[in-house]
Chains A and B, each alone.
Chain A
Amino acid sequence: MSGPSDFQPTNPALRWIERRLPIFGLMHSSFVAYPTPRNLNYWWTFGAILSMMLAVQILTGVILAMHYTPHADLAFRSVELIVRDVNYGWLLRNMHACGASMFFFAVYIHMFRGLYYGSYKEPREVLWILGVIIYLLMMATGFMGYVLPWGQMSFWGATVITNLFSAVPYFGESIVTLLWGGYAVGNPTLNRFFSLHYLLPFVIAGVVVLHVWALHVAGQNNPAGVEAKTEKDTVAFTPYATIKDLFGVSCFLIFYSWFIFYMPNYLGDAENYVPANPGVTPAHIVPEWYYLPFYAILRSIPNKLAGVIAMFAAIIILCFLPWLDSAKTRSSKYRPLAKQFFWMFVVVCVLLGYLGAQPPEGIYVIAGRILTVCYFAYFLIVLPLLARIETPRPVPNSIADDVLAKTGSKAAPMVSAVIAIMVAGGLLVGGAQSARAEGGEVAPPAQKWSFSGPFGKFDRAAVQRGLQVYKEVCSTCHSLSFVAFRNLADPGGPGYSTAQAAAFASDYKIKDGPNDQGEMFERPGRPADYFPSPFPNEQAARAANGGAAPPDLSLITKARSYKRGFPWFIIDFFTQYQEQGPDYVTAILEGFEENPPAGVTIPEGSYYNKYFPGHAIKMPKPLSDGQVTYSDGSPTTVAQYAHDVTTFLMWTAEPHLEARKRLGLQVFVFLILFSVLMYFTKKKVWANAH
């Protein structure tokens, strides 16, 4: 539709290039003069939002790859060091990790929009299929990216997903071995996933070019679902569509930023802050929220091969959509029955997503099976049937008629719908992540944390006291291996001076070497050294502690979580009350009881803890009143110790929390101002297009 451009640059140098490579003409005809239907609503801005998200992911991903180490022994630590040490590393990592969720969030809206308005129908079949291919590539890329931090969920996600291919008859085992590059998921797997994770986004970008090309050949669909016939039906891409898209993008950035700066771990799994352990599978293997509906379909089929086939079929079936739905009317606006079934289908997908996060037992399995049938029935029965029996309402003669028939007030509900959907989507995914947490135990009592909320800061005195508790009590068994002595003088931390941090370090004996004689030796700690581990290796830690190695505490407040339950997980999203498990850590420290309640037997060598899942914990009661002497006169009670050491451990887990929230506030003020400006600019530009 764009046709050859008559564009000629005025600048002679550009004209010289244009004669030899008509790139400016191509750009001009594709992104400036290209006619877009004038009745597009804000659902159409998600194409631009997705382009931006792809660019953001590639940019931040290339940068993260500059600092990441793709090795099974080093990957987890390198990701932590990116967050802790690289300048703005925390920002880049959050942008990339939350960006994946935002990317999928936007693509789902984009896909549902296509579904609702019939954007897959003739002549846009190839455009639609290219979109499905992009979606498949995104899923592969997202999965491999999730493996790279090499946490527990990474490792076991990789194990479970690669094992899907073992369902293939005859060749299954060989395929899986080929994917792993070994006898199990290991270093070769991580290396190839890193390589492919770097490659696939560029493949996506290539298919996106084809997608846009196909779009520009067929022209955009629009809410009325009638083709643009005359020039009255369209407006130029620039400035009309560009300004509208940019306004959409700026609004989306506000939503995205909330996650980056305030809730970076809301969508992640606490388990992935535990380094990969090939010997222990987490209690619940749950994929990232964006795979949950398909995971639910996989699990609802009792046969292994059939489950895998059903899961892939649920995606592949989208490719056949243009032929399954043969109705002539495109837009569901004019299809009373299709519209209702569309919303039912949306509900089915959301419920499948919810079920994907639940344990595969009891009512969840039955519900999963019913919804799986509903999912496929929508494509295989409802849509073909509707095409035959439904009487659509008359469609407008032209886009111009559609615009004239509409009152100006239509735009406002549209905007509020976008905002509502965004909030609802955020909550839904949050609900899914909350639902996966271990339940069934007594909920830890709520604490007051100085670091919660958008203006949260660490209580310096509490962090210092917590450091003292760690040093005098916890450090006899627990390492703190991601924290260096120099960090004690970092801004936003305990607030010590560089000299104090150096003095603190020099109290420790650090093993160094080899020296010129080839021998290891001990020397006083330096600020650059990390807190030494109490045990030389994991086996020693295990042997000294009744078979259970005390976990490293650097990340413990993010690596432990518990079921917050409704409505708390919704309220948490706005209040930023805690990021994962500070309440849980405090509760564990306070939850020891001498005598277990009647009917509970605790095995030899374990201790009763009210809040520990299963109640039998290998750690003896670590704190008792008066054990640590505070110099600032704070009460020397277990409750105070627990609160202080948890505050300290929240700082070790999120050392840049204060900087993050401070920058977040600045970004928010800017983005809201910018969006308001964009809104009025968009209104001005469009003033006489309506």
Chain B
Amino acid sequence: MVFCRRGGRGRRQTSRSQWAPPGRFHRLRTRKGLGIVTTASSADHPTRRDFLYVATGAAAAVGVAATVWPLIDQMNPDAATIAAGAPIEVDLTPIAEGQDIKVFWRGKPIYISHRTKKQIEEARSVPLSSLPDPQTDEARVKSGHDQWLVVIGICTHLGCIPIAHEGNYDGFFCPCHGSQYDTSGRIRQGPAPANLAVPPYQFVSDTKIQIG
């Protein structure tokens, strides 16, 4: 690559590479956009010259890329937001059988349902083959704590919050677009593609869970 030796109009004529008459030259040069013309390297120090342009261009590209990163990374959650998303503990004792509560973790509503025997039975008697997103109820609760369903209360369709104890399956009903979930939070009907997500959680005691 060689920078055009005769940049502007009516520049002094140089002694070499007269490969285009001045009139046409302008168009030819500018076809390459930035006035850089690819042609055979000329006599004196062609490689050093090429190297200089490539090195400068590469350094500029590196500089721009390195500058862009902080400008993008600042959009990620800040340290205070991440710290506020630390695990939370929830006491389950006040939740009677058949009741559910909604707690917030990382800005998301978490449904904690104390399921009745009947609800557990309903969830477990459904053949997996009839589910749009097949998953057993056992895989969605902690073993030994089968009565507790903990799900993120965000419809997997477009993010609305489903209403508990509504719909045809005794589970959740999303008022936005009519998705219906069963007593295990699995999608049964409507446009949502997947079951309600189960957040990471564990039982720290029989009556207390830690979410996150």
Quick check: A88 and B11 within 8 Å, CB to CB? no
CB of A318 closer than 8 Å to a CB of B: no
Bound form: Cα–Cα A680–B76 in Å: 39
A515-528 CB mask vs B (1 if < 8 Å, else 0) is: 01000000000111
Quick check: B86 and A6 within 8 Å, CB to CB? no
B21-50 CB mask vs A (1 if < 8 Å, else 0) is: 000001100110011100000000000010
Q: Which residues 67-98 of B sit at the A interface, judged by CB distance below 8 A?
A: 70-71, 73-76, 78-81, 83-84, 86, 94
A632-673 CB mask vs B (1 if < 8 Å, else 0) is: 000000000000000000000000000000000000001101
Q: A87-B76, A674-B63 are in contact. Are A486 and B83 (CB under 8 A)?
A: yes
Query: Which residues of chain A come closer than 8 Å to B74, judged between CB atoms?
Result: 63, 66-67, 86-89, 92
Bound form: Cα–Cα A231–B7 in Å: 11
Q: A674-B59, A674-B63 are in contact. Are A239 and B79 (CB under 8 A)?
A: no
Query: Which residues of chain B come closer than 8 Å to A7, judged between CB atoms?
Result: 27, 30
Bound form: Cα–Cα A238–B4 in Å: 10
Bound form: Cα–Cα A166–B31 in Å: 59
Task: Select B78's contact among A85, A235, A240, beta carbons within 8 Å.
Answer: A85
Report B's interface with A, CB cutoff 8 A.
3-5, 7-12, 14, 26-27, 30-31, 34-36, 49, 52-53, 55-56, 59-60, 62-63, 66, 70-71, 73-76, 78-81, 83-84, 86, 94
CB of A28 closer than 8 Å to a CB of B: yes
Seed contacts A86-B79, A238-B35, A490-B79; 13 additional CB < 8 Å A-B pairs: A33-B9, A67-B74, A84-B79, A85-B81, A87-B73, A88-B73, A231-B8, A231-B10, A231-B11, A526-B86, A670-B66, A674-B63, A688-B12
Query: Which residues of chain A come closer than 8 Å to B26, judged between CB atoms?
Result: 6, 33
Bound form: Cα–Cα A67–B56 in Å: 35
Quick check: A240 and B7 within 8 Å, CB to CB? yes
Q: Which residues 225-241 of A sit at the B interface, judged by CB distance below 8 A?
A: 230-232, 234-236, 238-240
Q: A33-B26, A674-B59 are in contact. Are A89 and B35 (CB under 8 A)?
A: no
Give, as a whole number of angstroms, the nearest-CB distance from B64 to chain A. 11
Query: Which residues of chain A come closer than 8 Å to B31, judged between CB atoms?
Result: 10
Task: Select B11's contact among A6, A87, A235, A516, beta carbons within 8 Å.
Answer: A235
Quick check: B52 and A684 within 8 Å, CB to CB? yes
Bound form: Cα–Cα A236–B43 in Å: 24
Quick check: B30 and A33 within 8 Å, CB to CB? yes
Give, as a whole number of angstroms, the nearest-CB distance from A485 to chain B. 9
Query: Which residues of chain A come closer than 8 Å to B10, judged between CB atoms?
Result: 230-232, 234
Query: Which residues of chain A come closer than 8 Å to B83, judged between CB atoms?
Result: 484, 486, 527-528
Query: Which residues of chain B come closer than 8 Å to A671, judged between CB atoms?
Result: 63
Quick check: B27 and A6 within 8 Å, CB to CB? yes
Bound form: Cα–Cα A87–B73 in Å: 6
CB of A35 closer than 8 Å to a CB of B: yes
CB of A184 closer than 8 Å to a CB of B: no
Task: Select A677's contact among B55, B75, B84, beta carbons within 8 Å.
Answer: B55
Query: Which residues of chain B come closer than 8 Å to A231, judged between CB atoms?
Result: 8-11
Give, as a whole number of angstroms, the nearest-CB distance from A585 to chain B. 26
A interface, by DSSP: helix, strand, loop or mixed?
helix
Task: Select B30's contact among A32, A85, A89, A240, beta carbons within 8 Å.
Answer: A32
Total chain A interface residues with beta-carbon distance under 8 A: 49
Quick check: A236 and B78 within 8 Å, CB to CB? no
Bound form: Cα–Cα A6–B86 in Å: 63
Query: Which residues of chain A come closer than 8 Å to B8, judged between CB atoms?
Result: 33, 35, 231, 234-236, 240
Bound form: Cα–Cα A32–B31 in Å: 11
Task: Select A235's contact among B7, B36, B49, B60, beta carbons within 8 Å.
Answer: B7
Give, as a whole number of angstroms, the nearest-CB distance from B61 to chain A. 11
By beta carbon, the residue of chain B nearest A35 is: B8
Of B4, B56, B80, B94, which is in contact with the most chain A CB atoms at under 10 Å from its CB? B56
Give, as a whole number of angstroms, the nearest-CB distance from B209 to chain A. 17
Query: Which residues of chain B come closer than 8 Å to A235, judged between CB atoms?
Result: 7-8, 11
Bound form: Cα–Cα A677–B59 in Å: 9
Query: Which residues of chain B come closer than 8 Å to A35, judged between CB atoms?
Result: 8-9
By beta carbon, the residue of chain B nearest A90 is: B70
Bound form: Cα–Cα A689–B35 in Å: 15
Quick check: A89 and B78 within 8 Å, CB to CB? yes
CB of A435 closer than 8 Å to a CB of B: no
CB of A548 closer than 8 Å to a CB of B: no
Q: A88-B74, A91-B70 are in contact. Are A528 and B30 (CB under 8 A)?
A: no
Quick check: B30 and A67 within 8 Å, CB to CB? no
Bound form: Cα–Cα A166–B192 in Å: 63
Quick check: A88 and B9 within 8 Å, CB to CB? no
Task: Select B7's contact among A63, A232, A236, A681, beta carbons within 8 Å.
Answer: A236
